[in-house]
Structure 1
């Protein structure tokens, strides 16, 4: 009974937490979200910007849809990050927040999520692959400590909850 209760609680936490975050997030003006996102991207991808690795994003828009948070936006890089509401992106990445966080923490491979249908990539396939490869090239250990530790702790919690939420199978020993 305890294992079943624990699994149900873990499953409910995985489903309920994004809903709890979604409500206050919806109250934040998009202009403030855009400012925070552009500053975060600038900080996270500064080495790639300096090395010219982001040049392929010039005049191209990548949409991000965090489905369970109902957070939708597009980004582009023309020497600085631009963030806008969804309009007409060349490629769209869609997933739930937990999956995106696991990818960010390098605890889950985007290809695996794609084939499990937990990550959707629609539109310009070549641009989508370039974005995916860019994300995979980020040295997680080089991220600023507060961001790295926060993402790491959240990802570890999600992994534990996902393991707890899986039903356990008890195999009976067959008589000898």
Structure 2
């Protein structure tokens, strides 16, 4: 079912079929809709979606012990344009997520807009480029941040279900192309 939806989305939402003005408006409008809406998504719902997704993406890395460096350490991931924050750690060979109410003091934090995180996930931008452009902020324990960045770089998108992979790629392409067109429109 999701594969059919993904194929339908790919055929219906090609870059050429979506006018630039609509894509440009969507990039600024979607975070304005999501930001207030996500306040109503309870922590347990976020956790029940995020943790299994991360375990799926990082299954091999978890099994290989590549997350041991995060034991008794906390990583904060912030999606700045929608004011969403997650605290992650590694305990008992598993990724864990702390509720915002726990007031965890992170050891390292990664901050970026949703568009930029989508570009990283879709392999349209690498974290180093966004970091040097100040679009990805990494604060706190530098060594820990480097290890997290290296894990992100090592993600094998082919491990994702093909429908998820296709949707991420399609959305990342839309964001990338729209941002490029916006740069050229300003010149």
Tell me, yes or no, whether TM beats 0.5. yes
Q: Does 1:97 align with 2:114?
A: yes
Q: What is the match of residue 155 of structure 1?
A: 172
Q: What is the match of residue 123 of structure 1?
A: 140
| TM-score, normalised relative to structure 1 | 0.86
C-alpha distance in structure 1 between counterparts of 2:185 and 2:87, whole Å: 40
Q: What is the match of residue 15 of structure 2?
A: none
Unmatched runs of 5 consecutive residues or more in structure 2 = 1-18
Q: Does 1:83 align with 2:97?
A: yes
Unmatched runs of 5 consecutive residues or more in structure 1 = 1-5, 171-176
Give aligned pairs, total: 165
Task: Indicate the RMSD between aligned Cα atoms, in angstroms.
Answer: 1.8
Does structure 2 retain, via aligned residues, the 8 Å contact 1:7–1:166? no
Q: What is the match of residue 173 of structure 1?
A: none
Q: What is the match of residue 3 of structure 1?
A: none
Q: 1:48 aligns with which of 61, 69, 86?
A: 61
Q: Does 1:15 align with 2:28?
A: yes
| TM-score, normalised relative to structure 2 | 0.81
Which structure would you say has the larger Rg?
1
Q: What secondary structure is seen at the aligned counterpart in 1 of 2:39?
A: helix
CA apart distance, 1:8 = 5.5
C-alpha distance in structure 2 between counterparts of 1:98 and 1:51, whole Å: 30
Following TM superposition, the consecutive aligned residue runs of length 4 or more in structure 1 with deviations greater than 6 angstroms are: none
